[in-house]
């Protein structure tokens, strides 16, 4: 397995959805490839940081105005 192939599988690897055969190939590659292990560590950290960020809630007034705007646009298209 090449580094490019390994990197393409990392999302599925972290989700735990790889087939046993592919999983074995990837883990074998990772065991002998320090750059890919470093990439995996960075990828894990990035995913964790992104998951920890909180989303800013849209104010109710803005939601109402947005709904009204979208509905008016839909009516204009008819």
pLDDT tens for 15-35 read 999 999 999 999 999 999 999
Q: Which residues of 4-31 are buried (b: 16+ CB within 10 A; e: fewer)?
A: eebeebbeebeeeebeeeeeebbeebbe
pLDDT in tens, 46-72: 988 887 776 677 899 999 999 999 999
pTM, whole model, 2 decimals?
Answer: 0.63
State the CATH number of the domain containing residue 63.
1.10.10
The count of structural domains within the chain is: 1
pLDDT value at 73 more than 90: no
Contact 35, 4 (CB under 8 A): no
Residue count of the chain: 78
| Domain encompassing residue 39 | 3-77
List the end-to-end C-alpha distance of the chain, in Å, as a whole number.
54
Contact 49, 22 (CB under 8 A): no
């Amino acid at each position: 397995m090449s580094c490019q192939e390994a990197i393409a599988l990392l999302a599925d690897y972290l989700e735990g959805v790889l087939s046993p055969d592919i999983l074995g190939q990837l883990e074998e590659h990772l065991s002998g490839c320090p750059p890919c292990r470093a990439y995996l560590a960075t990828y894990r950290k990035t995913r964790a940081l992104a998951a920890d960020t909180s989303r800013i809630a849209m104010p109710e007034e803005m939601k109402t105005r947005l709904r009204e705007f979208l509905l008016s646009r839909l009516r204009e298209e008819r």
